[in-house]
Chain A
Amino acid sequence: MKNIIKISTVVCCIGLTVIASCKKGLKDETFSVYDSSKLTSPENGSQAVIGAYAALKDNGGYGYYAGFLYWLYEYPVDVVTTTITSRQGVQLDQLTYDASNSVINDVWVSIFKMISRTNEAEELINNIDYAGKGSTNTIKQQNLGEVRFLRALAYYDATSLWGDVPLILKSSSHFTEADQNPKLAPKAEVEAAMIADLEFAAANLPDAYPANEVARAAKGAATSLLARLYMRRGEWQKAADAAAAVMNKGYDLRTKAEGGLASMFNTNNRSDNEFIFVLKSSNEAGAYGINSNSFGINSTPWDLNRGYGNFPIHLEFYAQFNKNDDRRNLLTGSYQTLYGQTMNVPVEYGGEGGSAPDVVLAKYVYNLKYPHVNNYNYAGFNNVTILRYADILMMRAEALNELNGPTQASIDLINQVRERSNMPGLTLSGYTKETLRDAIFDERNKEFFMEGRRREDLIRWGRSASNGATPLLKFKEKVVPLLRDANTYSNAVDYTVFPYPQNEIQSNTSLSADVNKGRVK
Chain B
Amino acid sequence: MRKIYKITLIIATGLALVAIFLFQDNWFSGLLFPLKIRTVQLVNLPANRLRFKVLVTTNKKAAVYLKYWSRGRKDTLYSDVSKDSLHHTLNITCTIANTDYTFEVIARSKTDSISSNRYPFETKPIYQATPYFTLVSMDPSIQKEMEGKYFLTQILTQPGSMVIINHKGDIVWYEPFKKGVKVTNWTPHHTILSIVGSEKIPSSGGDEIVETDLSGKMVRHFQLGKGGMDKMVHHEVRYDKDGNIYALTFDKKVFDLTKAKGLPRDTVHGDGIVVFNKSGRKIWEWSMLDHLDPLGDPLILKHKKDWVHANSLFKDTDGNFLISYRDLNQVWKVDHKNGKVLWKLGEGGDFALKKDELFYSQHAAYFDSGHHLVMLDNGTKTGITREITFKIDEAGKKAEALSIITLPKNYYTTAKGNAHAMAGNKMLFCLTDPRAFLITNKQGKILWNVQVGGDPYRLEEIDGFLNYKPTDNDHN
Contact = CB atoms under 8 A, between A and B. Distances in A.
Given A19-B19, A19-B22, A132-B221, A33 B42 contact: yes
Contacts of A29: 36-40, 116-117
Contacts, number: 73
A339 interface: no
A19 B18 contact: yes
Nearest to A23: B33
A16 B7 contact: no
B216 to A, nearest CB: 10
B218 interface: yes
A338 interface: no
Interface in B33-63: 33, 36-47, 53, 59
Contacts of A32: 39-42
Contacts of A19: 15, 18-19, 22
Contact of B41 (A23, A33, A38, A132): A33
Contact of A20 (B14, B22, B47, B53): B22
Q: Among A12, A25, A31, A35, find the residue whose CB has the most chain B CB atoms closer than 10 A.
A: A31
Contacts of B14: 12
Interface string A14-39: 01100110011101011111111010
B421 to A, nearest CB: 36
A34 B41 contact: yes
Interface string A26-62: 0101111111101010000000000000000000000
B23 interface: yes
A33 B45 CA distance: 11
A140 B80 CA distance: 34
A30 B36 CA distance: 11
B40 A30 contact: yes
A4 B11 CA distance: 12
A156 to B, nearest CB: 37
A8 interface: yes
A8 B40 contact: no
A11 B11 contact: yes
A40 B38 CA distance: 30
Interface residues of A, number: 23
Nearest to A40: B47
B354 interface: no
Interface of B: 3-4, 7-8, 11, 14-15, 18-19, 22-23, 29, 32-33, 36-47, 53, 59, 116-117, 119, 121, 218, 221, 223
B42 A24 contact: no
B46 A36 contact: yes
A27 B38 contact: yes
A73 B40 CA distance: 52
B41 A8 contact: no
A35 B22 contact: no
Nearest to B4: A4
A23 B22 contact: yes
B117 A24 contact: no
A25 B23 CA distance: 13
A35 B38 contact: no
Contacts of A25: 59
A30 B59 CA distance: 13
Nearest to A41: B178
A27 B40 CA distance: 13
Contacts of A36: 43-46, 53
Nearest to A16: B18
Nearest to B36: A29
A34 B46 CA distance: 10
A20 B33 CA distance: 8
B127 to A, nearest CB: 15
23 contacts: A4-B3, A4-B4, A8-B7, A11-B8, A15-B11, A15-B15, A20-B22, A23-B23, A27-B38, A31-B39, A31-B40, A32-B41, A32-B42, A33-B41, A33-B43, A34-B41, A35-B45, A36-B43, A36-B46, A36-B53, A38-B46, A38-B47, A40-B47
A11 B36 CA distance: 28
B44 A35 contact: yes
B42 A31 contact: yes
A35 B44 CA distance: 5
A508 B300 CA distance: 80
A20 B18 CA distance: 10
Given A23-B22, A31-B117, A12 B41 contact: no
Given A15-B11, A31-B40, A33-B43, 12 more contacts: A12-B14, A12-B15, A19-B18, A19-B19, A23-B33, A29-B37, A29-B38, A30-B38, A31-B41, A34-B41, A34-B42, A36-B44
A16 B45 CA distance: 46
A512 B42 CA distance: 41
A19 to B, nearest CB: 5
A29 B42 CA distance: 13
Nearest to A20: B32
A38 B121 CA distance: 19
